[in-house]
Amino acid sequence: MARPQRARRTVLGGTFDRLHAGHWALLRTAMRRGDDVAIGLTSDRYIATHPKPARERIQPYAQRRRALARWLRREYPRRRWRIVPLENGYGRSIEPGFDRLVVSAETVEGARRVNAERRRRHLPPLRVEIVPLVLADDLLPVSSHRIRQKVIDRYGRRRSPIRIALAIDPILAAAPWRRELRRVFPRARFEVRSPREVLREPCAELGLVIREPGERTAGSLRIVAPRLRLAPRRLTPGERPSQQVASVWPPRRTRRGTRSRNA
């Protein structure tokens, strides 16, 4: 008779202040990868001794725990999970019995420290699952800090107009492009610049360098964003410019499951 397969046990941790799209990606990955999921939630004491940006605006532990539990009950009503206070940088990740650790792309170094500590304790290392960052409209990560500052909402939508430096060759094509780009960024503030200014002297939150396709030459779209290097995209004659730009910003799902384009 075959022995029953052991349940996969997964662990992750964080502050989970103002639950947002980045948190949801972490939690969904953990729930996919584990049959039993332990979530370390940083305590108020831990936050007090480990400074974070705008720390005074972080919700208290009880409020964060309620919001996290409510989301888990709604999204995974039949799954096993538990929320435990996180008082240090390891939590339950250095206990025996766990198989996998879920981290974001920004906290990979923490996963290395966890496995180093496990080896020191003669425990097998955890398999590390790295979840890519969820990007907001301005191609910066969705984060609790930026939500606390009221720059974006929990879905990554900008709460204030985004500044876009726009360089178009030939310049005569600028007006149609601005009109098309407002389909993607209806509240954006466009600043017309030269390609050199956009590429070498960042002067806005995003930069777009557009070369119109001609009869014998291919067009291109280059997006200049902080902390990201994006390869130029080929522009196909006849394709709506807004389709080219919008392809970089995939639609996000709202709470009710409807798709939302960037504001």
pLDDT at 170: 78
pLDDT at 67: 97
Answer whether residue 2 shows pLDDT above 50.
no
Question: Could you give the number of structural domains in the chain?
Answer: 2
Residues 21, 137, single domain; the answer is yes
Residues 40, 116, single domain; the answer is yes
Residues 135, 200, single domain; the answer is no
Residue 29 lies in a domain: yes
Question: Which of 148, 175, 210 lies at the terminal end of a domain, its last residue?
Answer: 148
Answer whether residue 50 shows pLDDT above 50.
yes
Residue 155 lies in a domain: no
- Mean confidence (pLDDT) of the chain: 85
Residues 121, 204, single domain; the answer is no
pLDDT at 257: 36
Residue 3 lies in a domain: no
Residue 154 lies in a domain: no
CA 254 and chain centroid, separation: 15
Residues 124, 71, single domain; the answer is yes
Cα–Cα distance between 135 and 208 in angstroms, integer?
Answer: 17
Question: Which of 121, 148, 175 lies at the terminal end of a domain, its last residue?
Answer: 148
Residues 98, 142, single domain; the answer is yes
Answer whether residue 241 shows pLDDT above 80.
no
Residues 136, 173, single domain; the answer is no
Residue matched to tokens 């208290």: 60
Cα–Cα distance between 78 and 260 in angstroms, integer?
Answer: 28
Structure confidence at residue 225 as a pLDDT band (50, 70, 90): confident
Q: Kindly calculate the radius of gyration of the chain based on its CA atoms and give it in whole angstroms.
A: 22
CATH number of the domain encompassing residue 126? 3.40.50.620
Taking a C-beta distance cutoff of 8 angstroms, is the pair 28, 21 a contact? Answer: no
Using a 10 angstrom Cβ sphere, with 0-12 exposed, 13-18 middle and 19 or more buried, the burial of residue 173 is middle
**Can the peptide bond before residue 170 be classed as cis, meaning omega within 30 degrees of 0?**
yes
Closest CA to 48 of 61, 64, 66: 61
3-state secondary structure at position 13: strand
Structure confidence at residue 246 as a pLDDT band (50, 70, 90): low
Question: Which of 124, 148, 172 lies at the terminal end of a domain, its last residue?
Answer: 148
Across 23-42, average pLDDT: 95
Structure confidence at residue 247 as a pLDDT band (50, 70, 90): low
Residues 189, 87, single domain; the answer is no
Taking a C-beta distance cutoff of 8 angstroms, is the pair 23, 145 a contact? Answer: no
Using a 10 angstrom Cβ sphere, with 0-12 exposed, 13-18 middle and 19 or more buried, the burial of residue 167 is buried
Residues 19, 123, single domain; the answer is yes
In order of 41, 47, 57, 77, 122, the CA distances from 51 in angstroms are: 16, 6, 12, 34, 32
Cα–Cα distance between 210 and 177 in angstroms, integer?
Answer: 9
Residues 27, 115, single domain; the answer is yes
Residue 260 lies in a domain: no
pLDDT at 76: 96
Give, as one character, the DSSP assignment of residue 55: G
Residue 30 lies in a domain: yes
CA 104 and chain centroid, separation: 9
Residue 157 lies in a domain: no
Residues 129, 206, single domain; the answer is no
Residue 184 lies in a domain: yes
Give residue 82's domain range: 9-148
pLDDT at 232: 83
pLDDT in tens, 120-129: 999 999 999 9
Residues 235, 181, single domain; the answer is yes
**Of 85-99, 113-127, 208-222, where does mean pLDDT reach its minimum?**
208-222
Across 101-126, average pLDDT: 96
Backbone angles phi, psi at 158, to 5 degrees: -65, 135
